[in-house]
Amino acid sequence: MYINSSYKNHSVLDFKDKSKPLIVGSCGTYRLSLQPKLPTYRPRGRVDFQIIYIASGRAYFHFDSPENETIVTAGNIVLFRPKEFQKYEYYGVDKTEVYWIHFTGSDVKNILRKYGFPDDRRVFAVGTSLEYERVFKRIILELQRCQDDYEEMLALLLRYLLIIFRRELTREHVLKNEYLDREMETAVSYFNENYNRDINIEEYAASRGMSVSWFIRNFKKYAGATPMQFVTSIRITNAQMLLETTNYAVNEIARIVGYDNPLYFSRLFHKQKGYPPSQHRKRN
């Protein structure tokens, strides 16, 4: 097992210090290979904050109680706050490598919120990056060498680490939004092209690899209506245009916009426009 760590004032004791907004207390790394297990158990937690970055392998966390187990894989960080129950293990068989940092200060909560770490979450998917490892190693070295203004440098490096974590978190969110928007745009285009055909929402969602409930929920957020409400609106709008600009019979217009039952079409039209189709044509 490879270990490299460093502590402020060479003390392994955790501490609470509010003399400055952000203070780094310790930092280190573990890399397991042959050792079967490396456990940590702190039933009362610590008085400072801690971030654990899983660079490779996986870690086994027991949030809130020893019975709960959450497997956290490479590319995630875990954030512990003061006095939170801590129990977690690393195993050699997983070839786990982690970096950790402890910090305190008078404004830590606000700083974490500012950089995208809400109070009610512990695990954040930030991806794997050699840049993360480089920053952690720089922090370890700063704590070991204690050069001029090293405390200020440590705080700056930790802020930098939080910023690049946030950028990755934001990027993932943007990618998810781009996927969602692209799927909803595809659906809108499909409905506009095929509104007068027999559209099955369940079949469409399945064809795009989506559950029907997820698709309907997100389509409504995107378009302001459920898929079938959207399709119905297109049909009625086009029927209105045909009533006002052509001499087609109401039955024929119903068929053109996708309704085999003209009575059902008339009821829908009346409900949306306030008048039955024939009366709408006379009024216009």
Q: What is the pLDDT of residues 258-277, one digit of tens each?
A: 999 999 999 999 998 898 99
Q: Quote the percentage of the chain above a pLDDT of 90.
A: 81
CA distance 224 to 230: 8
Q: Exposed e or buried b for every residue in 236-250, given b needs 16+ CB within 10 A?
A: bebbbebbeeeeeeb
Asked whether residue 61 falls in the same domain as residue 110, the answer is yes
Q: Quote the percentage of the chain above a pLDDT of 70.
A: 98
Asked whether residue 146 falls in the same domain as residue 205, the answer is no
Report helix, strand or coil for 164: helix
Per-residue pLDDT reduced to its tens digit, 38-51: 999 999 999 999 99
Asked whether residue 160 falls in the same domain as residue 202, the answer is no
- Give the total number of structural domains in the chain: 2
Asked whether residue 65 falls in the same domain as residue 151, the answer is yes
Neighbour count for residue 128 (Cβ, 10 Å): 16
The pLDDT value given to residue 269: 93
Asked whether residue 229 falls in the same domain as residue 96, the answer is no
Place of tokens 């969110």: 173
